[in-house]
C-alpha cells in the first residue's frame, strides 16, 4: 500500500472525527442554544428541521459541484465553514444571527457529508478491501468526544462560545493541514456524456439503497431523540440513568464500526448488513418489551451494534455499483443523492415516534422502526459486490490507480 493512500486514509478519518465532534457539540447543547436566543418551544422545531433540509440542498449542490472541482476541495473548504458556523451559533446574540449560522451549518454539513463519503468510497475502491466502516468509526469517536465536551461545558455552566471557541481554534487549523493529504481516488471529475445529458444517467437502481439509508437514520434518530425520555418515563429509570442509553449506543456504534470491516472482508457485505438489520430489530423488540431500565439498556446496546453497519455499507454499495456502470462521475453522483436520504430519515424518525407515542404508546412506537429496519433484509442483495467482492477471499490482490492527491490547490 502506498504512502499516499495511507496518508489519505488517515487524513480522511480525521475529517470524519472532526465532523463528529462538531455535530455532537451542536445537537447536545440545543437546550442551551434555545435559552441563549430565547427560542420558543413552538419555534424550535422549525430551526431544527431547517438544518437537515438545508443539508439536503447542500448535498444535491455538491453533486453538481464535483463535476468541476474534486471532492477533496469541497471537503477542504466546507469543514471550516461548519466549524465557524458552530462558533457563530455560540457567539451570536440575536435570533437573526442564529438563523444565519444554522443555515450556513446546514448547507456546509450537506456538502461535507457528501464529499467525505465520496472520498471514503473511492479510497475503499483503491484499497481493494472494506475500509468504509473505519471512517464512520472515527465519526462515532468524534461524537463521543463532542458529547463529552458538551457535558463539561454544561456541568461548568460555561457560555456556549466559551465551550466552542477552544474546540474551533484547535480543530480548524488541524483540519486544514490534514486536508493537504486527501486523495481523490476516483480520477477525474464527472463529465457530460456524448449525448449532452448528465454523465450519470438514471440511477433507479439506487432506490432500494435510499430506502435502507432512510430506515437506518429513522432508527438512529429514534435512539438519539427518545432514548432518555423512554428510559425515564416508560421504564421508570432515574434522571441520571436516562442519560446513559445514548452514550451506550454511541460506544457500541464505535465498537461495531471498528471491527465491522473485518466482518465484511470475512463474510461479505450482504451477510454483515443482514446481521446488522436482525440485531437492530431484536434491539427494538427488547426496548419495546423491556420490564425495566436495565433491560431497556440492553436493547439500546443491541441497537448500536446493529444499526452501526448499515449507513457505511449503504454508501459503499452505492459508490461501488455506480462505478461499475463505467460512467464518469457516477459514483460521486450516487453518493450525493444517497446522502440526501440521511436527512430524510432524520426528519421522519423523531416526529414519527413522537406522534405514535402520543397517539398510541411509546412501547408500540418502538415497534415501527423495528419493522422498518427488517425491510433491509428484502434489499440485502443490493449490497453484493460484483464483479469484485470485498471479503470472503475475493479481495483484489492489488490497489487501483488512485488518481491525484489534493495538494495542488
Does the pLDDT of residue 207 top 50, yes or no?
yes
Residue 409 burial by Cβ neighbours in a 10 Å radius (0-12, 13-18, 19+): exposed
Does the pLDDT of residue 61 top 80, yes or no?
yes
Average pLDDT for the chain: 88
What does the alpha-carbon distance between residue 238 and residue 234 come to, in Å, rounded to a whole number? Answer: 11
pLDDT digits (tens, 9 = 90+) for 295-342: 999 999 999 999 999 999 999 999 999 998 878 789 999 999 999 999
Higher pLDDT, 194 or 152: 152
What does the alpha-carbon distance between residue 93 and residue 36 come to, in Å, rounded to a whole number? Answer: 8
Is there a contact between 120 and 132 (Cβ–Cβ < 8 Å)?
A: yes
The pTM of the full predicted model, rounded to 2 decimals, is: 0.89
pLDDT over 70, % of the chain:
89
Give pLDDT, residue 378: 94
Nearest residue to 86 via CA among 137, 42, 150:
150
**Residue recorded with cell 457505511:** 312
Give pLDDT, residue 386: 60
pLDDT digits (tens, 9 = 90+) for 62-98: 999 999 999 999 999 999 999 999 999 999 989 999 9
Does the pLDDT of residue 265 top 80, yes or no?
yes
Give pLDDT, residue 198: 39
Is there a contact between 95 and 34 (Cβ–Cβ < 8 Å)?
A: no
Domains of the chain: 1-187 (1.20.1250.20), 201-392 (1.20.1250.20)
End-to-end CA distance of the chain: 25
pLDDT digits (tens, 9 = 90+) for 109-135: 999 999 999 999 999 999 999 999 999
Amino acid at each position: 500500500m502506498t504512502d499516499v493512500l495511507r496518508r489519505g486514509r488517515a487524513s480522511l478519518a480525521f475529517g470524519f472525527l472532526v465532523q463528529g465532534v462538531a455535530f455532537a457539540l451542536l445537537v447536545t447543547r440545543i437546550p442551551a442554544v434555545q435559552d441563549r436566543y430565547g427560542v420558543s418551544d413552538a419555534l424550535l422545531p422549525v430551526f431544527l428541521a431547517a438544518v437537515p433540509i438545508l443539508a439536503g440542498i447542500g448535498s444535491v449542490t455538491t453533486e453538481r459541484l464535483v463535476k468541476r472541482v474534486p471532492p477533496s476541495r469541497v471537503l477542504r473548504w466546507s469543514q471550516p465553514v461548519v466549524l465557524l458556523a458552530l462558533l457563530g451559533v455560540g457567539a451570536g446574540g440575536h435570533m437573526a444571527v442564529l438563523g444565519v449560522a444554522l443555515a450556513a451549518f446546514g448547507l456546509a454539513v450537506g456538502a461535507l457529508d457528501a464529499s467525505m463519503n465520496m472520498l471514503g468510497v473511492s479510497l475503499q475502491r483503491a484499497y481493494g478491501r472494506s475500509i468504509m466502516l473505519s471512517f464512520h468509526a472515527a465519526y462515532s469517536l468524534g461524537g463521543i468526544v463532542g458529547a463529552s465536551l458538551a457535558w463539561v461545558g454544561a456541568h461548568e455552566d460555561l457560555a456556549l462560545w466559551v465551550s466552542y471557541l477552544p474546540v474551533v481554534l484547535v480543530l480548524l487549523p488541524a483540519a486544514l493541514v490534514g486536508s493537504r493529504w486527501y486523495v481523490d481516488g476516483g480520477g477525474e471529475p464527472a463529465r457530460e456524456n456524448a449525448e449532452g445529458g448528465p454523465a450519470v444517467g438514471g440511477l433507479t437502481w439506487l432506490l432500494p439503497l435510499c430506502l435502507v439509508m432512510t430506515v437506518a437514520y429513522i432508527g438512529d434518530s429514534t435512539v438519539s431523540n427518545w432514548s432518555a425520555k423512554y428510559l425515564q418515563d416508560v421504564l421508570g429509570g432515574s434522571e441520571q440513568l436516562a442519560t446513559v442509553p445514548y452514550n451506550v449506543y454511541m460506544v457500541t456504534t464505535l465498537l461495531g464500526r471498528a471491527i465491522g470491516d473485518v466482518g465484511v472482508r470475512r463474510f461479505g457485505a450482504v451477510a454483515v448488513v443482514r446481521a446488522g438489520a436482525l440485531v437492530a430489530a431484536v434491539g427494538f423488540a427488547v426496548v419495546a418489551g423491556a420490564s425495566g431500565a436495565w433491560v431497556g439498556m440492553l436493547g439500546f446496546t443491541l441497537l448500536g451494534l446493529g444499526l452501526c453497519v448499515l449507513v457505511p455499507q449503504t454508501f459503499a454499495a452505492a459508490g461501488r455499483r455506480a462505478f461499475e456502470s463505467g460512467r464518469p462521475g457516477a459514483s460521486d453522483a450516487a453518493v450525493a443523492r444517497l446522502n440526501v436520504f440521511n436527512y430524510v430519515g432524520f426528519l421522519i424518525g423523531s416526529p414519527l415516534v413522537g406522534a405514535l407515542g402520543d397517539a398510541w404508546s411509546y412501547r408500540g412506537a418502538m415497534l415501527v422502526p423495528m419493522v422498518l429496519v427488517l425491510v433491509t433484509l428484502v434489499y440485502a442483495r443490493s449490497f453484493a459486490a460484483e464483479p469484485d467482492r470485498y471479503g470472503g477471499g475475493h479481495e483484489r490482490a492489488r490497489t487501483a490507480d488512485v488518481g491525484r492527491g489534493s495538494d495542488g490547490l
